[in-house]
């Protein structure tokens, strides 16, 4: 598949993830009595990945996340020469999704975007969790996510079930970690809304690049232990 096609697929898939996942959090937050809550937001993120893995996975592999791309590169399942291009496409896609969401959210009278589904720790953690807790949860949850992706897309796995496994894994991750960091496990997802909010969201953004990349890299290296032996 030509690289241009793959980059467009990564751009589109990441835009959909940010628009659908962050949109569920931001828009439902404006309607306390009708809001979908943490479980609904978690499901929304899972559904965005599930739908795009099935739709665009055959084109680009369906990463939609720099941590996944780096993790798969460490696993030997993705060429390092394409990593930077994929990451740029993912970040730009995330920004596009956040821009659409911003236009929609600010379309109401007296609208305020609030935190705009940004990630944070300390005072900016939904549950008031500190830096260490935020770092640990992001590393561990990204490790789990990339491990599931590597295993579910292995040639020994049932290909038709990969999207379901990946989507449900991301849903589970959000159910656990929304109170801690508002859940990143994806630097592109974190960067996009932070650009519209600024301030502390940008100041703390470094963690939501470092921790997911570290978790993804460890998972990629560890996934080699699950790879089939070549006789």
Which of 25, 9, 11 has the alpha carbon at shortest distance from 182? 25
Tokens encoding 30: 């404006």
Q: How far apart are alpha carbons 161 and 158 in whole angstroms?
A: 6
Q: How far apart are alpha carbons 199 and 223 in whole angstroms?
A: 37
Q: What are phi and psi of 31, to 5 degrees?
A: -130, 85
**Alpha helix positions (H), 30-121:** 37-60, 66-75, 83-105
Within the chain, which residues score under 50 in pLDDT? 229, 231
Return the pLDDT at 28. 74
**What domains, with CATH codes, occur in the chain?**
3-225 (1.20.1080.10)
Return the pLDDT at 38. 86
Return the pLDDT at 37. 84
Tokens encoding 31: 């309607």
Return the pLDDT at 187. 98
Q: How far apart are alpha carbons 185 and 216 in whole angstroms?
A: 9
Return the pLDDT at 143. 98
pTM comes to 0.94
Which of 10, 116, 118, 122 has the alpha carbon at shortest distance from 68? 10
Q: Are 122 and 207 in contact (CB under 8 A)?
A: no
Q: How far apart are alpha carbons 148 and 164 in whole angstroms?
A: 11
Q: How far apart are alpha carbons 37 and 187 in whole angstroms?
A: 23
Q: Are 171 and 43 in contact (CB under 8 A)?
A: yes
**Alpha helix positions (H), 108-206:** 131-152, 162-181, 187-197, 200-203
Q: What angle do CA 195, 200, 205 make, to 5 degrees?
A: 60
CA 145, chain centre distance (Å): 10
């Amino acid at each position: 598949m030509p690289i241009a096609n793959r980059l467009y697929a990564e751009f589109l898939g990441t835009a959909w993830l940010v628009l659908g996942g962050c949109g569920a959090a931001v828009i439902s937050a404006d309607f306390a009595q009708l809001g979908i809550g943490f479980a609904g937001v978690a499901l929304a993120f899972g559904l965005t990945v599930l739908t795009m893995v099935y739709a665009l996975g055959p084109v680009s592999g369906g990463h939609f996340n720099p941590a996944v791309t780096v993790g798969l590169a460490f696993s030997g399942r993705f060429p390092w020469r394409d990593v930077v291009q994929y990451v740029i496409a993912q970040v730009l896609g995330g920004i596009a999704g956040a821009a659409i969401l911003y236009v929609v959210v600010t379309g109401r009278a007296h609208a305020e975007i609030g935190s705009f589904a940004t990630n944070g720790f300390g005072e900016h953690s939904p549950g008031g969790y500190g830096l260490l807790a935020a770092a640990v949860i992001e590393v561990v949850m990204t490790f789990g996510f990339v491990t599931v992706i590597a295993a579910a897309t292995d040639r020994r796995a049932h290909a038709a079930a990969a999207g379901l496994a990946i989507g449900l894994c991301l849903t589970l991750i959000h159910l656990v970690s929304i109170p801690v960091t508002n859940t990143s496990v994806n630097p592109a997802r974190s960067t996009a809304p932070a650009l519209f909010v600024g301030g502390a969201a940008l100041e703390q953004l470094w963690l939501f690049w470092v921790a997911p990349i570290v978790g993804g890299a460890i998972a990629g290296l560890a996934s080699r232990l699950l790879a089939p032996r070549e006789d």
